[in-house]
């Protein structure tokens, strides 16, 4: 994870019988292994894997309408018509015969896909623009800063609503790419600010004095130090992208042919699932999304601790 954080060469003092306080130099004591980060990653992995592996154990065709009995509650509950849940559909079914378990298995990874694609594209553009602005400066910096200042204030959901309401069929990737159009300003601003401050720092001067080329300074000196920021902005972007996707889907503007978590909420709200007390219909996708967002938040807090040592100390 970047040469600057590698402390393995210092792992020996403890073995040499130094006091326990020196445990700080233990190789497992890097800030990259803080509990928040680990918990967040674990939570997201569990959701993602149960989505990906679930396909081998559960028939995902059931996620489409008309494949199962209607309005069944989850196992152990009874719906308003007195029907009890069955193990054939352990999480229940909804209004048009979609199996909730299959919906979750297909829907959760779809949310991840949107997040990763949109955040990946947005962040790549952001890193390139941020580096250019911070390093080249001058006119380039002015233009990039102006564009990111302008884009960051536009409520992107509004523009996306206009676009998606005109497009007849959107697939997941198209939606992710459209969301990515608005995902670059935040990483651009962040990277630019960091590059500006690092450019003036001692080790960059040192590298410049020893004759390193601009490219070497950018990629071998500065970029590794930006790793926590880049990761953090990736997670922030993914959160924003999934949020935008959920917003569009719950408004009925998401992909029509692929089951999504937001789309499930849209159908539930439209069919007044709240008033019919079919809590599993809106509750399960809501819970799933909430868990995804909590996982992302934990990862983000974890990266904060890596990038900002002051938080690390004060949290002890």
Partner 1 sequence: MGRYSIGFIAQRLGIFLLTIWIAASVIWLIPRLAPGDPISAMIMRMSSSGGRVENADKIIAGWKERFGLNDPLPVQYVRYMGNLLRFDFGYSLAHFPTPVADIIGLALPWTLGLLLVAVTLAFFIGNFLGAIMVWGRTPGLIRAVIPMFMIFTSIPSILAAIFLIYVFAFLLEWFPLAGSYPLGMKVELSWRFISAVIWHATLPALSVVLVNFGYWTLGMRGMMITVEGEDYIQLARAKGLKPFYVLYRYLVRNAILPQITAFAITLGSLVSGQVLVEYIFGYQGMGNIIFAAITSQDFPVIQGASFMLIVITALAVLIMDLTYPLIDPRISYERN
Q: Can you give the binding site for partner 1, defined by CB under 8 A? A: 146, 149-159, 161-163, 165-168, 239-240, 243-244, 246-247, 250-253, 265, 269, 274-275, 277, 279, 282-283, 286, 289-290, 293-294, 296-297, 310-311, 314
Rounded Cα distance between 301 and 316, Å, is 14
Least distance from partner 1 to the Cβ atom of residue 117, Å: 19
Least distance from partner 1 to the Cβ atom of residue 295, Å: 9
Rounded Cα distance between 268 and 264, Å, is 6
Least distance from partner 1 to the Cβ atom of residue 183, Å: 12
Closest to partner 1 by CB, 72 or 242: 242
306-313 contact pairs (CB < 8 A, 24+): 306/31, 306/32, 306/34, 306/37, 306/228, 307/228, 307/229, 307/232, 309/31, 312/31, 312/34
How many other CB atoms sit within 10 Å of the CB of residue 315?
Answer: 11
Least distance from partner 1 to the Cβ atom of residue 249, Å: 10
> How wide is the angle at C-alpha 92 spanned by C-alphas 90 and 97, nearest 5°?
125
Least distance from partner 1 to the Cβ atom of residue 158, Å: 4
Closest to partner 1 by CB, 127 or 235: 235
Closest to partner 1 by CB, 86 or 151: 151
Output helix, strand, coil percentages for the chain, rounded to the nearest 5: 70, 0, 25
Residue 107 Cα distances to 57, 91, 99, angstroms: 16, 14, 12
The residue with tokens 């292994």 is: 33
Rounded Cα distance between 218 and 136, Å, is 11
Closest to partner 1 by CB, 62 or 280: 280
The residue with tokens 């694609």 is: 117
Least distance from partner 1 to the Cβ atom of residue 214, Å: 29
Closest to partner 1 by CB, 204 or 236: 236
Closest to partner 1 by CB, 85 or 236: 236
Least distance from partner 1 to the Cβ atom of residue 65, Å: 16
Rounded Cα distance between 53 and 187, Å, is 33
Least distance from partner 1 to the Cβ atom of residue 50, Å: 20
DSSP string, 23-52: GGG-GGGSGGG-HHHHHHHHHHHHHHHHHH
Close Cβ partners of 251 (under 8 Å, ≥ 6 residues apart)? 161, 266
Closest to partner 1 by CB, 198 or 246: 246
Closest to partner 1 by CB, 115 or 222: 115
């Amino acid at each position: 994870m970047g040469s600057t954080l590698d402390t393995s060469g210092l792992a020996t003092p403890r073995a040499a019988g130094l006091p326990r306080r020196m445990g700080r130099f233990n190789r497992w004591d890097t800030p990259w292994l803080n509990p928040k980060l680990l918990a967040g990653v674990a939570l997201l992995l569990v959701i993602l894997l149960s989505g990906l592996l679930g396909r081998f154990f559960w028939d995902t065709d059931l996620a489409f309408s008309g494949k199962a009995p209607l309005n069944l509650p989850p196992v152990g509950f009874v719906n308003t018509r007195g029907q009890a849940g069955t193990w054939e559909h352990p999480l229940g079914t909804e209004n048009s015969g979609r199996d909730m378990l299959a919906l979750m298995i297909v829907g959760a990874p779809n949310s991840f896909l949107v997040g990763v694609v949109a955040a990946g594209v947005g962040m790549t553009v952001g890193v390139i623009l941020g580096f250019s602005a911070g390093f080249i400066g001058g006119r380039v910096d002015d233009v990039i800063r102006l564009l990111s200042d302008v884009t960051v204030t536009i409520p992107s959901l509004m523009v996306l609503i206009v676009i998606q309401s005109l497009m007849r069929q959107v697939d997941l990737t198209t939606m992710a790419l459209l969301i990515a159009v608005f995902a670059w300003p935040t990483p651009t601003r962040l990277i630019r600010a960091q590059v500006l401050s690092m450019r003036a720092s001692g080790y960059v001067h040192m590298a410049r004095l020893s004759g390193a080329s601009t490219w070497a300074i950018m990629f071998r000196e500065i970029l590794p130090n930006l790793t926590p920021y880049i990761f953090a902005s990736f997670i922030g972007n993914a959160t924003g992208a999934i949020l935008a996707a959920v917003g569009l889907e719950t408004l009925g503007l998401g992909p029509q042919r692929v089951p999504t978590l937001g789309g499930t909420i849209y159908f539930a709200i439209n069919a007044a699932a709240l008033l019919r007390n079919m809590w599993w219909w809106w509750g399960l996708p809501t819970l799933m999304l909430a868990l995804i967002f909590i996982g992302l938040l934990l990862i983000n807090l974890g990266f904060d601790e890596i990038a900002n040592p002051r938080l690390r100390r004060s949290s002890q």
